[in-house]
Structures are given as structure tokens and as C-alpha cells.
Structure 1
Amino acid sequence: MPICIPGQLPAQDVLSGENIFTMDSNRAATQDIRPMEVGILNLMPNKIETEVQILRLLSNTPLQVNVNLIRVDNLAPKHTPQAHMDAFYHDFSEIENKKYDGLIVTGAPLAHLPYEDVKYWDNMKDILEWAQRNVQSTMYLCWAAHAAMYHFYGVQRKLRDNKLSGVFEHKVLDPYNELLRGFDPYFYAPHSRFGYIDSDVYNSVKGLHVITESPEAGAYTVVSDDKRMVFVTGHPEYDPETLHDEYYRDLQADLHPAIPANYFTDDDPTKAPLVRWRSHGSLMFNNWLNYYVYQTTPYDLNQLAEKAQPKR
């Protein structure tokens, strides 16, 4: 089944070129089924690139998925035309009375900024609280995973001296968890961050469990017992060239970045990347939609139960 996205969204042409079936809202209205309602709170500066990455992963499912793109504030985005935001994004005020089967909150390049100094932190807190009442299952990616841990549980991230960048091997710790169904015992995933929270800290929070981790990158996937919160500290959505582009961007900015680990062939940045994470990323999103969203959400979203409030 297709994903339903706004007509004329640039991602539509990209996905169609990859033989991924999408349709606009007018056609979706004629389908006599109950589609999944999924929101994407996109915090990344280059929103168009991130849209394509997330939508690609959501498309690999037999479920029909209606997608709403959500913005955290009205400030002009850094690398996205204002016209694009006005045409395709919803202000939070426009959707705060709506219920969603699933919500994805992306990362953000805010590594060294205290949460309270983030310009939209108050809005972010409001959305996190809203999701507790209005969303069946929420997936937090990278910075958003740490931000949610801080807001809900008072857990503060630590910062590395050097950025963790590269593609790392991870071990499945809970092979019977439905989010990991079909995973090999070991798999690869990209990371690009300074922040981290130790696995034992996640596991010390009642109702949370680390289900995949890496010796180099630490905890990667953390889930709640009720399946309504998923924390992913890396970037399963990344394109093959994303770490390449980040590396050369930082070089040009004289940030002296380390070469992303286990990414370029022979660790040589003049050679092509070794792409070995996309199958796991697709499978994770498919499992999330199926087992954490579709099989747990009520048919009538108005019957969505409020999540038990996390305890600090």
C-alpha cells in the first residue's frame, strides 16, 4: 500500500523515481480503509532531504499511511525555502486536537546547546506532553531521543570530546522483541552525534529497556514496555551519501572532523561509502508500524488511551 503525502511535495518525484508508490490526499479519500495516521516532527535544517529519507522508510509496508509534516515553530528554517514550509507543513496549533497512530521526531544539530537554551524548547516540551495523550507510539531519533529522556525522566546526556561519526556494528540483545523481528544477531547502523546516555542509565528507568547496542556507539535502540516510546540514538534513515556530505561540510568549515568510521571503502574519503545499514533501517520502521502502531492502536483514534506519565 502507498504512503499518502501532500500533492506536489518534492519527495513525491524522488520516491516515484525509486519505484515507491505514493498518492495524494484526494486519491486517498476514495480508499475504503482505515489508514494509519503518522506525524513527522521534522527538526532538521534541511527538511526536504529528511522528508525523503523518512518517507522512504515508511513506504515499505502493506499499510496505507497518511503523513502530516509538522513544524515546531514559525521561525524561518535554515536550509529550506519558506514557501516549502508554508505549503507542506502544519503548525502545531493546527494539529494539536488530532490523534495519531504514530509520531516520528527527528534529530537536530543541537549537540552542545543545553536543552533550556534551545529556542523552541518550550514548544518542544508542549509537543512531547501532547504526544503522551494523542499518539499511540512515538519514535524519537538521535537528539530527540536524548531530549525526550531529559524531559520525561530528567536524564541528562553526556558529551563526547569528539563527534561519534560512522557506521558501527550493533548486537541484538532482545531477539524476541517485535521491533527486531527479522534482524540478524549483528547489524550496522550510522551515527552522527556528540551526546550519549549509558545503557545502564536507560535500563535503570522503570519500563525502559535497551534492546540493541554497540561497543563503540553504545545504546542504539531503547523501548518502553508498552511499545509507546521508542528511542533510536542513530540514523537508520540516512542516505548513502549523508555522512560523506557531513564530513566534507565540516572540513570546509575548518572543524577538523575525523573520517567517519567504517564508512568509506578502506577508510579512504576519496572512495565510495560502504552502504550496509539500509535493510535494517527499513525493517525497523516496518516493524514499528506493524507491531508498535498498527497492532496496538484502536480503530477509532478517539479511544486512544493516555499514556501513563513517565516518572522521574
Structure 2
Amino acid sequence: MLVRAHRGNTLAAGVVVLTAFTVEAELRLDLGDGARFALTAGLALLAGLLGLGSPVQGDRPRTYQELLFAIATLAATGAAAHLSALLGSSLSSRPMAGTVAWVAGAGAICGLALARRRDATLALLLGTVLAIVALLAAAGAAWPGDDPLDGVRLMLVVVLVLLVGAILVRFDRRYRHAVVLADVLGVTVVLLSATFLVRADHRLADALGVVPGSGAAGTGWELLLLVCGFGLVGLGSAAREQGPGWLGAIGLVAALLVVSRGGGGLVGWPLALLLVGLVLVVVALRPVAREVPEDAEEAAGLEQAPAVAMPLRPVVLPPPDDEPR
């Protein structure tokens, strides 16, 4: 399916309008599961083919291509949900963890495949989040213990390790992908903190089928949450990326809420954080032997003299020989 580059924005606008029509048809019309599946699957196929048929320009997809791939991923997830209902398994039935796992897994496969094929960052974000949802639902469904949060928590740790490894591998070669995965890492830290905080609300714990409690965590869990929160804030500051920085700050606040559930007064984490903060402030304020430029570009500019532009002079061409003077 050939797509003209100069008509990409118009094409994406048309697909967005078709997406709005699909949503309205889902909400207003009394359609059967087969019709809903055909509608969402057709939208996913259309958006995916148009995105793949559009020309490659530069080293990254254009904005309209990112939008087409994102719509294809979300529509494929909806189509998987309607196919599940058509086959007799609904998201409103219990237990629904297995259904959530394979529906989210289908959407994750679509998003990650598009991200790998066309280097799409938004599809990578959606695909990674859907993959995490699928893994968490599968872990909660397959956990043999009484509390499914234990299985979810261990799966989140596995996800954290995989995300950190993927970020380290892609940071130099695919920087934009590394930033997106850092955003997902921040969301994962918030989810890991939520697995402890949800126990403190007994109504929410009963609704989710987990064992109520104080919301406190062990020292190892608290250390992991604090390290991830501070690490993401530091990564966002060093790389000058707002996404990992803000999500890391939210994860850090959630980690501090978990730490505060443990009690113990000043001794413990409050004292440790106070000492570490004072050490960092003292190190930053220590005298230095020479001034260091704040920016590498500024340091390079000190070594190179600025180029002087040559003045332009008009060039007067002689008239032709046959032209009267």
C-alpha cells in the first residue's frame, strides 16, 4: 500500500477520525462480539499497513507514522479482547487473569513487532507496557500461594532487571529507545510500590483479593525502591530527559511512602538519608584547584577560535560583444 510522504498528516488525520468512529460504535451500538472484532481488527490492519507502507525519511519515523503504529497496537489489543469474548472468555468473567494475560500479550506482540520493524518509539512504549501487564496477570494467575501479590511482586523484580539490561544495551546505539524504556522503568517502580501500599487500604485489598496489612516492606524491598527512584531522578537530570526524571520522582515519593510504613523513628532510613545527603552536599561544596567548564560545548569553544565570515563583494560581468555600448 503506497503512501505519499506529503500526504502523511492528512492520512493520519483520516485514521484518527476512523478510530473515533470505532470508539463511538463500540459505546453506542449494540453490536455482537463478531462485529466488534471485525471492526477493531480492520482498524488495526488498516493503520498497520498504512504505517508500514509509508516511506522511510531520516533516521526516525515521522509523527504521523508514530501515530499510525500506536493506533494499530491499541486496535489490535481491542481485537484480541473481542476475539476472547467471541471464543467464550470475557474480561468481566472470573477468573479473568488468564484472559488479561493473553489479550495484553497479543497487543504487546503487535507493538513490539512494529517498533522493531520501523524503530517506532510510541509503539515500543505501548508494547512494553502491555507486555508487563501480560506478565503480571500471568504471574497472579499461576501463583500457587494464597496472596497473588507475592507472585506479582517477584515478576516486577524480573521486569526491573530486564529493563535495566535493555537500557544499558540501547543507551549508545538506540538512545530514543533507551529513554522510552527508562519511562517504563519508572512506571514499574511505581507499580512495585503500589503492591505494598495496596495492603494498607483494607477495602481495596478485599476488592483485589489480597491479604490486608500495614503496607510495610522488608529492608531489602525498601532499599530496592529507593535505589530505583533516586537512580531514575539522576538519569533524568544527567541525560536532560524529563520523562525518566518525573517518573523517577513519582516512584521516589511512592518508595518513601512505603518506607514510612515501617516506623522506627529517626533511627533507620531517616538517619541514613540524612547522612548521605550531607555527604553529597559537602562533596559538592569542596574547593577545587581549577574551574571546570559547565558544558562540553563550552570547553570545546574555548579551544577553537570563531570563524570570521568573509565579506561578500558584487561581481560585475562584462556586457556581450554584440551589445551596443
Give the TM-score, by structure 2 length.
Answer: 0.29
Which structure carries more relative contact order (alpha carbon 8 Å, separation 6+)? 1
> Which structure has more helix as a fraction of its residues?
2
Compare the two structures and name the one with the higher strand fraction: 1
Q: TM-score, normalised by structure 1?
A: 0.30
